[in-house]
Structure 1
Amino acid sequence: MQPFSKQHTDKPPLNLQSDCESCFGLCCVALPFAASVDFAMDKQAGQPCHNLQADFRCGVHTHLRPLGFRGCTVYDCFGAGQHVSQVTYQGIDWRQAPGTAMQMFEVFPIMRMLHELLWYLSEALTLKPALPILDALRASCDETERLTRLSPESVLALDIAAHRAAVNELLLRTSELVRDEALRKLKGTPGSRKTYRRGADLMGAKLKGADLRGANLRGAYLIAADLRGADLRAADLIGADFRDADLRGADLTESIFLTQAQLNAAKGDAYTKLPPALCHPAHWSGVSV
């Protein structure tokens, strides 16, 4: 971890990035989905997807979007899948030990929440404006990591909502510190600046070329919004819904709390500027695989 600097190219720790090769196909079994624009069929929680093979690989991985499984290409477990598989259950899969299957499938979504919080906390620790709350962030990160190493029974007994709320207070404070500093630097910049409340309804909004530096877009509904060429540096994007948002040419280099799943759900191109820990999705236009 390199606190107070985002000027590096190191990716987040491996345990916060999905490693499907080390997972028991948990997202393909534990999670439910319904027939929609994102999924070609219905599937109940605990029911293996019919595309899941005996070796836990997806049989149609390279054709998911054409076959109607766009949702699979968007999802990201933040490394929770391999952690549950290899650490929590010590490499014993649900087919080898069917008696653990349902418990494992219940542990997985809780572990994903913990790993998502670790992603945000790890990023917060790299942000220089967060210096005043550095100790609190470190303590929260250590505690969250400790929770990921609990037994399955203890994980299921967690009050995950209370823990998430406590972490969110620190993340909100981090956001305020980062955005306040960014806006101080922008003081006197010509042009009006819009402000948004958490959960702002910006579906289909025409924001092409918009100056959104330092904006609070936490939980904003940006579905199908036109953000071509928009400047989103220092904007708080935690929980923002970017489904089908057009990010071509947008600058997200210094945005905070952005995830790969959000990018996967959006549209973009090779000219979209991203934070160093994230990558251009293969389905974006002009992106070579």
Structure 2
Amino acid sequence: MQELVTKVAVVTGAGSGMGRAMARRFAAEGMRVALADVDAEPLEETGRMIVEAGTAADDVLARLTDVASESEVDALADLVFDTWGQVDLLVNNAGVFVGGFLWERPAADLQFVLGPNLWGILHGIRAFVPRMIAQGTEGHIVNTVSAAGLLGTPYAGPYSISKFAAFAATEALASDLEAIGSPLKVTALCPGMVDTNIATRSERHRPPELATETTDDRAFVSDMLAEVTAQGIDPAAVAEMVVDAVRAERFVQLTHDMYVPALKERGEALAAGVLPARGEFGDAPA
């Protein structure tokens, strides 16, 4: 999809980090943008930033949305289609982090991380894609996966599980759309180290019914993640890559070339029937 002016973009997790950066970048391209996030104040702030940068207020929508909720994602889709009659770019970006050893993690931790990271994507696909297909026009779906959805990472089992599943969903979507001859294209955005607040804000979004005690392994990996992401690239740089990926119809968008050799080595290891080499956590994707 080359021309973005007046097209409609939907971005979940738009209240901070990569979601905010992508929403602002799409608006700068002349797109109308629908913003969704679970935090009201950051969501409103993103909308203000976009309007203050020159986008007409009528070209910005914002809706408080928990993407782990099917009904809330349905309501978001209804709002956007009722307002603008179309969606051309869907970015399923919202996500949280839960780390630690798998044998230490209660089921509630897995339920929490799978909510936005996997079900948020699946709800987005089901709520938006059928109507995007019915439009009969070109369009694009970007799912924020992670380099942790391509490469195994120590101490990050719950997160990696959610992201490997997110990649599988993204590949399945792309394959299905190709099978029916749809002009819609798909990108799996696989960021590495990006300067976001995922390590510090994730627990604030945990539903009370999924509360668990913090264990040493989970605290360790959260602290390490905060340190690593603080040294990461600017989310605005990721937004530029996403615009380029949409225009180039690129299926996988990495943010760091350093993962390419590891991906090749992983493929060779799996083909040989052996466990891929374990990366150092200091190099772990975020």
Shorter chain as denominator, the TM-score bin is: under 0.3
**TM-score normalized with structure 2 length:** 0.24
- Give the structure-1-normalised TM-score: 0.24
**Higher helix share goes to which structure?**
2
Bigger relative contact order (CA 8 A; separation at least 6): 2
Greater per-residue strand proportion: 2
